[in-house]
Amino acid sequence: MTRFLALIGLLGIPAQAADLCPLAQALSKIVSAETTYRPPPCPKIGFSTLPEGGTAVHSQAGAYLPDSGRIELAPDLDLTTAYGQSYLLHELVHAAQYASGAQNHVACPAALEAEAYTVQAHFLRERGLGQEALVISLLADQLGSCGVEADY
């Protein structure tokens, strides 16, 4: 898989969704290990300018679109790096959340986002990207509060 991703990066070819299934499946195993969700099947994954508004769960580098089950990633997201892969992982957490119906059982929608950021931060930390993980962890803490002010 690493060889395949390196080839994509070297050739500058945007990966097609089917090409990303091995990476998505590997990352889905992490979702399953880090959460209570079953790994989702390989979703449709595209690269495009992220949609405005709608029901999408947004981030700067990706969006999960619950209505279609599709993941959209920013065109310049580099999936050959752990940092880039962390954003696909983040969106795969959302796919697993919606597949399990978690959106119907949370205190607020932000709790879903906080969980995805927590998994993403752990992934980054395990790959030696501590500073990036810290920023992501702070986002998780803020979003998970569901509007309750932190006492720090």
Give a yes or no: residue 122 inside a domain: no
The answer to whether the CB of 117 falls within 8 A of the CB of 141 is no
The pTM of the full predicted model, rounded to 2 decimals, is: 0.80
Give a yes or no: residue 46 inside a domain: yes
Give a yes or no: residue 41 inside a domain: yes
| Lowest-confidence pick of 46-60, 64-78, 91-105, 137-151 | 46-60
Give a yes or no: residue 132 inside a domain: no
Give a yes or no: residue 7 inside a domain: yes
Closest CA to 123 of 90, 76, 145, 95: 90
Q: What angle do CA 57, 77, 30 make, to 5 degrees?
A: 65
Q: Exposed, middle or buried by CB within 10 Å (0-12, 13-18, 19+), for 101?
A: exposed
Rounded CA-CA distance 90/59 in Å is 9
Quick one: what percent of the chain has pLDDT higher than 90?
A: 61
Give a yes or no: residue 34 inside a domain: yes
pLDDT at 58: 43
Give a yes or no: residue 121 inside a domain: no
Q: How many domains does the chain have?
A: 1
Give a yes or no: residue 55 inside a domain: yes
Alpha-carbon dihedral angle through residues 73, 113, 22, 133, given to the nearest 10 degrees: 90
Tell me which residue range forms the domain holding 60. 2-104
Model confidence over 20-64: pLDDT tens digits? Answer: 999 999 999 999 999 999 987 899 999 987 655 544 444 468 999
